[in-house]
């Protein structure tokens, strides 16, 4: 009998595993992904410009998402003491590397769109017959 295969995460620092789980959960969040995409494409933007560029996001969700992204070191917010107050946001180097990492998902989706749609259509056709 051969020895059981090692578990894939046996030698991973539990802190790293927890961080990966947390980051994936956060970045998989619709708003974080859309804000990342907006800032990587357009660079530094005012808070209101981000709100206009991300369809459907409320001011409350934009504020909460940007604050969490700032806490994680993905975004910097610069508050200008003018009336009305102006807040500029930009990706940090860390945020840029995360955006680049997730660009692979967009590229994968674009490359496989037809295959996924065909698989879904075939599945739906089989389910309709059942």
pLDDT digits (tens, 9 = 90+) for 46-87: 999 999 999 999 999 999 999 999 999 999 999 899 998 899
CB neighbour burial string for 87-96, b if at least 16 within 10 angstroms, e if fewer: eebebbeebe
How far is residue 36's CA from residue 53's CA, in Å, rounded to a whole number?
A: 11
pLDDT digits (tens, 9 = 90+) for 8-27: 556 777 888 887 777 777 76
112-116, long-range: CB within 8 Å, 24+ apart, which pairs?
A: none
- The reported pTM is 0.70
How far is residue 66's CA from residue 75's CA, in Å, rounded to a whole number?
A: 7
SS3 45: strand
pLDDT (0 to 100) of residue 90: 97
Give the Cα-Cα-Cα angle 15, 72, 98 (nearest 5 degrees): 90
């Amino acid at each position: 009998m051969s020895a059981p295969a090692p578990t894939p995460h046996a030698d991973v620092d539990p802190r790293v595993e927890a961080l990966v789980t947390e980051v994936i959960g956060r970045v998989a969040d619709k708003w974080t992904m859309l804000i990342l995409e907006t800032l990587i494409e357009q660079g530094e933007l005012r808070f209101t410009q981000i709100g206009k560029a991300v369809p459907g996001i409320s001011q409350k969700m934009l504020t909460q998402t940007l604050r969490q992204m700032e806490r994680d070191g993905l975004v910097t917010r610069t508050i200008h003491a003018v009336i009305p107050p102006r807040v500029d946001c930009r990706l940090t180097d860390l945020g840029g590397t995360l955006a680049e990492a997730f660009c692979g998902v967009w590229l994968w989706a674009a490359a496989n769109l037809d295959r996924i749609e065909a698989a879904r259509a075939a599945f739906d056709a089989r389910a309709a017959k059942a």
